[in-house]
Amino acid sequence: MWRRGFTSSYTPPAQALKEKKWDALVIGGGHNGLTAAAYLARGGLSVAVIERRHVIGGAAVTEEIIPGFKFSRCSYLQSLLRPSVIRELELKRHGLKLLKPTATSFTPCLDGRYLLMGYDDHHNYLEISKFSKRDADAYPSRYENQLYKFSKLMDFLLDSRTPETLHWDSSFIDRLRDKLEKSVFWASCLRHILALGQKDVVDFMDLLLSPTSKVLNKWFESDILKAVLAGDAIIGSMASIHTPGSGYVLLHHVMGETDGDRNIWSHVEGGMGSISMAISNAASEAGVSIVTNAEVSQLMIGDSGTVKGVLLADGTRVHSSVVLSNATPYKTFLGLVPQDVLPDDFLRAIKYSDYNSGTTKINVAVDKLPQFHCCRSNNPEGGPQHTATIHIGSESMEEIGSACQDAWNGLPSKRPVMEMTIPSSLDKTISPPGKHVVSLFTQYTPYKPSDGSWENPTYRESYAQRCFSLIDEYAPGFSSSVIGYDMLTPPDLEREFGLTGGNIFHGAMGLDSLFLLRPAKGWSGYRTPIRGLYLCGSGAHPGGGVMGAPGRNAARIVLRDFKKHSS
């Protein structure tokens, strides 16, 4: 298929790459790998990023799959990118431009009603009141204000490295410094908890441990409001809204911000690849070398069990005593590390982590904006609903639960749950005049369906048409407006972008795989059982999403270790 990547990439001469011994190598040019590289180079290290694909960006990438239409192929909205990364790497100076939608959420109903949420509290009150005045009164206090309180604690945790135990032989001074740092971390954590107060702490624990359905049933009564909010709790997973602990993912998706405003998911001018491009520009300015079309086949490990560099698929040896992997933990430790190097218990923990995914992403080129029968507009430029995150098939909690049950039974959902976004409603750089780019994030689709195979073109086509037909129920004529599409099922996401199991977070975001347990108990501090090898991707703390926090935090650890060993 004809395609072109729009995330910038730089390929230094292969001879220069292999003849030099680098201070640090980064495997994978996704946004976290680029972030780590930028911070390392700004810290004075010589750094090279090695990317398998023809274009950098990983899952935060813009590609022109259909001539004239530029798709954010995987990730599709921005909110989680840490303000510290934007500020410290000066990403706006390097070309990052965020486009805030004029409405935040739009949910059409088959009965002709709709729920359109925005930034104005009074407007939101009137919208929710159409379904429940009680919920309209409760929404600001029970949902927004409470989750924003929790987000302050989460900000602290996201930007902090975990207080992980030291693994290697250390000097007395190192152990003393480590204890001091842990004490500072836990003291800061306690201050944040005390600032919440006992009632909010109990509510916070309830949110973390409870099923999303329990949390939302306790807060609200209208099914449509609960279903809209529940959508944030199941994104990218095979979990049900009835799964204990799913409430955390709800929080994970509302704790982001755009220009200081909480829970605002913005489009990015030029697509999500523009984030990676801005980070790569900052990295290149700091002296990072970035090479594409170069696949790492294996890590080179010395006799002493320390990293010596990487071996590329073409046989090239690239030398460095420090390697950061932006690949998934599964790919890193079971695909790149030679056998018999890692401890058995660590390997088992990585191998049997949850990499399940129910996600299929469909990028669609259309010749006109979809017109929803419940909210018709004669404006060819569209209305606020077209700029919002549009929820299809999410009118009730029961619909979401049924869609998940289909996948648990091995079948792609009969009525998929979809988040539709139309970035071209705000961004005129990504589609021809009068035509549009539509992103469909759909669930649930099992990795290995029991009634067919994703390798079968007819089977794939049937799922895509199922999604288009569902949209037709809300926006008649959508199917006939489709010019072409690009579909990425879980196996496609694994093959094309290296996402094990198709999991967009590099591993499930359950409570059993977060903070001190991510990616495995005892190894949450970005270091690994192999000296000189670090994790810097979403499989490390604090997890998935386009946030840059794993890359930034990992780089800080590497710089500290590097300076200690070189002094």
Mean pLDDT by runs of 10 across the 567 residues of the chain is 46 64 97 98 97 95 96 95 96 96 95 93 95 94 82 89 83 85 94 92 90 91 94 87 84 77 89 98 96 95 93 93 98 96 96 95 97 79 92 92 95 96 97 97 96 97 98 97 98 97 94 94 96 97 95 96 78
Instruction: State the Cα–Cα distance between residues 49 and 56, nearest whole angstrom.
Output: 10
**3-state DSSP call for residue 115?**
strand
Instruction: State the Cα–Cα distance between residues 340 and 81, nearest whole angstrom.
Output: 37
Q: Before 444, cis peptide (omega within 30)? A: yes
Q: Before 491, cis peptide (omega within 30)? A: no
How far, in Å, are 7, 74, 333, 481, 485 from residue 461 at the CA level?
29, 19, 35, 16, 10
Token pair 């990585």: residue: 350
Q: What is the pLDDT of residue 2?
A: 39
Helix runs in 289-394, H state only: 329-331, 344-351, 384-387
Q: Which residues contact 352 (CB under 8 A, 6 or more apart)?
A: none
Please check whether residue 535 is in contact with residue 350, taking contact to mean a CB–CB distance below 8 angstroms. no
Instruction: State the Cα–Cα distance between residues 291 and 135, nearest whole angstrom.
Output: 53
Instruction: State the Cα–Cα distance between residues 232 and 3, nearest whole angstrom.
Output: 31
Q: What is the pLDDT of residue 247?
A: 79
Q: What is the pLDDT of residue 567?
A: 57
Indicate the length of the chain as a whole number: 567
Instruction: State the Cα–Cα distance between residues 394 and 27, nearest whole angstrom.
Output: 38
Please check whether residue 413 is in contact with residue 443, taking contact to mean a CB–CB distance below 8 angstroms. yes
How far, in Å, are 81, 240, 241, 367 from residue 235 at the CA level?
17, 10, 10, 28
Instruction: State the Cα–Cα distance between residues 142 and 146, nearest whole angstrom.
Output: 6
φ, ψ at 400 (rounded to 5°): -65, -45
Please check whether residue 72 is in contact with residue 55, taking contact to mean a CB–CB distance below 8 angstroms. no
- Give rounded-to-5 percent helix, strand, coil for the chain: 40, 20, 45
The token duo for 277 is 């491009």
Residue type at position 68: G
Strands 105-108 vs 533-535: parallel, antiparallel or unpaired: unpaired
For the beta carbon of residue 91, count every other beta carbon within 10 angstroms. 24
Please check whether residue 255 is in contact with residue 78, taking contact to mean a CB–CB distance below 8 angstroms. no
Listed in order, strand segments (DSSP E) in 417-535 are 417-421, 436-443, 482-488, 533-535
44-64 burial code (b ≥16 CB/10 A, e <16): ebbbbbbbbbebbbbbbbbbb
Helix runs in 113-243, H state only: 121-129, 133-138, 146-158, 172-196, 198-209, 212-219, 223-230
Q: Which residues contact 246 (CB under 8 A, 6 or more apart)?
A: 211, 212, 233, 234, 237, 239, 240
